Amino acid sequence: MVVLSVLVVTGVAAAVGSSMSEDSTAEAVLVVRAAGPVAEQPGSSTKLAGTYAALIPLDARIERTLYRDLPRGTTSYSTSNDPNTAILRLTVTAASPEEAIDGADLLAKEISGPNPPSPNIIDNSISVAKLPTSVDKTAATKNLAVLGAILGLLLGLVLLAFWRPRDARVDTLRELRALLSCLCFEIHLQNGDGLRPLFDALANREPEGIVVVPCQSGQAAAATALSRVLRKAFGSDRVQEVGPPESEEAGDLGPHSRASVILVAAPGVRKVAVAETEDALRRHGLSLDYAVLSRGSGVTPPGTPAAKDAPAQVAG
């Protein structure tokens, strides 16, 4: 469930991202040099580079000048300063690689040299170290795919936490006994192992009739196999097989109210299904007397010890 959620959400996010346009980012590298008396102070150029990195994106004069001259596809520009250096990095984002490169080239030349567009930049305090020749693409597909994978993982975990209680299953006789208050048996239908305790319990009770009920329609074959063995031991007129409660095959369960009811379930059956079947039987006036966890399939082979000895145990 978790893997499926990740794949589905990631696929949807990637499809959305592929329909979106990709932006290109170009970077120019500048060097800041403090001039005049300030240059004699230690780290003056480094401090000035940090000041420029914060000032340039906020300066209204620079913004008016640049957006007047920058290519139309330019979406944004920013500046940053490498820590403890006088290096100033200038990035421009545009719709196409050419516009990003042209914009970074123009912006770098505008703020460097003797005539910067703002008095807040000291003349000749910025020089160009490297102009852009290539771009980095901001791929919306990749970004959305990563986000989709994260959201898909979270969604899968939420669904798993919600579904797990509904999907709890019975795999062992101990789990079946913990779920039901009646006597529970494990029977291997292929070789008859486990039949004798069930025969003994039925013989001691001497019921007026025996009703075999599969927990689900998919376990009808196991219920049929068990019914055939019980008919050999107790007589065909005393053993009835019905469909799962609330199904068309169940028919009218009222006449079986005085019979011993045996629920047949296969390993892997949901605990919810077992509980719902028991509740449905109660609504029809039947109480669950025995439960069988059936393993294997088909009719018990003749001559097995459990099947052969059963009639002698219940006779009389």
Rounded-to-integer distance, Cα 227 and Cα 262, Å: 10
Burial class (CB in 10 A: 0-12, 13-18, 19+), 161: exposed
Write the pLDDT tens digit of every residue in 251-267. 666 666 678 899 999 89
Residue 311 pLDDT > 60, yes or no? no
Looking at residue 241, its pLDDT comes to 86
Looking at residue 127, its pLDDT comes to 93
Average pLDDT over residues 188-214: 86
Find out whether 69 and 56 touch, Cβ atoms under 8 Å: no
Residue 299 pLDDT > 60, yes or no? no
Average pLDDT over residues 194-207: 86
Tokens at 278, concatenated: 């028991």
Rounded-to-integer distance, Cα 316 and Cα 299, Å: 25
Residue 152 pLDDT > 70, yes or no? yes
**Which of 49-58, 181-190, 305-314 is predicted with the least confidence, judged by mean pLDDT?**
305-314
Other Cβ atoms within 10 Å of 190 Cβ, number: 15
Average pLDDT over residues 282-290: 86
Q: Which range is most confident: 26-40, 78-92, 147-161? A: 78-92
Confidence of residue 306 (pLDDT cuts 50, 70, 90): very low
- Average predicted confidence (pLDDT) for the chain: 79
Looking at residue 310, its pLDDT comes to 45
Find out whether 211 and 242 touch, Cβ atoms under 8 Å: yes
Q: Map out the domains of the chain with their CATH numbers.
A: 23-138 (3.30.70), 170-314 (3.40.50)
Q: Which range is most confident: 72-76, 140-144, 184-188, 255-259? A: 184-188
Looking at residue 315, its pLDDT comes to 34
Find out whether 286 and 253 touch, Cβ atoms under 8 Å: yes
Residue 195 pLDDT > 70, yes or no? yes
Residue 214 pLDDT > 70, yes or no? yes
Write the pLDDT tens digit of every residue in 50-97. 999 999 989 888 888 777 777 666 678 889 999 999 999 999 888 788
Q: Which residue has the higher pLDDT, 162 or 98?
A: 98
Q: Which residue has the higher pLDDT, 208 or 121?
A: 121
Confidence of residue 131 (pLDDT cuts 50, 70, 90): very high
Other Cβ atoms within 10 Å of 95 Cβ, number: 16
